[in-house]
Amino acid sequence: MSEILYDEVPSLDLADFTGGDVEKKKSFVAALGEAYNNIGFVAIKNHGLSDTLTSQLYAMVKKFFSLPDEIKQKYELSELFGQRGYIGKGKEHAKGRTTGDLKEFFHIGQEVVDGDPIKAEYPDNIWPGELSEMAEVGMEAYKTLENTGKQILRAIALYLNLEEHYFEDKVHNGNSILRPIHYFPIENLDEVPEDAVRAAEHGDINLITLLMGASADGLQVLRRDGKWIPITALPDQLVVNVGDMMARLTNDKLKSTIHRVVNPPKELMKTSRFSIPFFMHPRSEMDLTCLESCIDDEHPKKYTDMTAGEFLHERLAEIGLKK
């Protein structure tokens, strides 16, 4: 299959997959697979996240990040390695770099309520006392995006000629993270390292990432020919991209594409940018061994066998969140 060089991220309608029309569902699966084969990103509408919930979430996020640093730092627990709560400015860097990204963020994780013993693996969520609405709004958004992610994974499974619900037990009570990010204003550029950027080029760790429209431009994806193209989604769309775990499972049939958030023009560095990705992770015991169907003479196996938990621990150390 020859590679397609997209100038923009393809747009798809999730209602085509979920609406009950067999032909539309088949077309959605084919289009999703083609996009993930080539650029690794799509923009999705009819994703289930309401305008009201989105507005509530952004209002809450802006409220939290406007708190004084000393208050935010109360919710940063070093022993959690950034799994829950606040992660301070410049703490995370891209794999292969040492300069911290110009961002701060907050992690909301899985809440296990069905007696699943995996609950013991997850720390409790941290809810700031200053924002009484954060738990309710945060978890509603978390569950909505998790459900949307499961639909995308069903389409991916069909594209890979797997049983439609192949991923279901692997992501049930999975280690997914909702991450509100604040790319904070820089008043004086001399105060930050020369090579510091909002988010240096990287691939995501997880199976797939669902990104709510960021509040400013800057997200770019690296095309196979080396050209960076902007990722722009309409306000009613989610951007959904393949992560490294999915690329590993599929022996790079589905592409985890390098992306970044570039700095705006100097005069705009004094402004905030907000972004809320949902990183869809499986359970730690999921086997990421390359699918046999994705290995052949032209595509020999690229990756060693490991579980999702092992891969996550390795990557958290590489990006500076775990020592």
216 or 307, which is more confident?
307
DSSP secondary-structure letter at 232? -
Q: Do residues 88 and 67 lie in contact, with contact meaning Cβ atoms separated by under 8 Å?
A: no
Mean pLDDT in residue range 9-21: 95
Tell me how far CA of residue 21 lies from CA of 18, 25, 46, 65, 166, in angstroms: 8, 6, 15, 44, 21
Q: Do residues 320 and 93 lie in contact, with contact meaning Cβ atoms separated by under 8 Å?
A: yes
How much is the mean pLDDT over the chain?
89
Rounded to whole angstroms, how far apart are CA atoms 277 and 285? Answer: 23
pLDDT tens digits for range 121-157 = 999 999 999 999 999 999 999 999 999 999 999 999 9
Q: Is the pLDDT of residue 214 over 70?
A: no
Report residue 182's pLDDT band, with 50, 70 and 90 as the boundaries.
very high
Rounded to whole angstroms, how far apart are CA atoms 102 and 98? Answer: 12
Q: Is the pLDDT of residue 60 over 90?
A: yes
Q: Is the pLDDT of residue 167 over 70?
A: yes
3-class DSSP assignment, residue 22: helix
% of the chain at pLDDT higher than 90: 65
Per the DSSP assignment, residues forming a β-bridge with 45 are 13
List the domains of the chain with CATH numbers. 11-318 (2.60.120.330)
Residue type for position 23 = E
Report residue 276's pLDDT band, with 50, 70 and 90 as the boundaries.
very high
Most trustworthy range by pLDDT among 6-10, 73-77, 89-93: 73-77
Mean pLDDT in residue range 175-197: 80
Q: Is the pLDDT of residue 1 over 60?
A: no
Mean pLDDT in residue range 92-109: 79
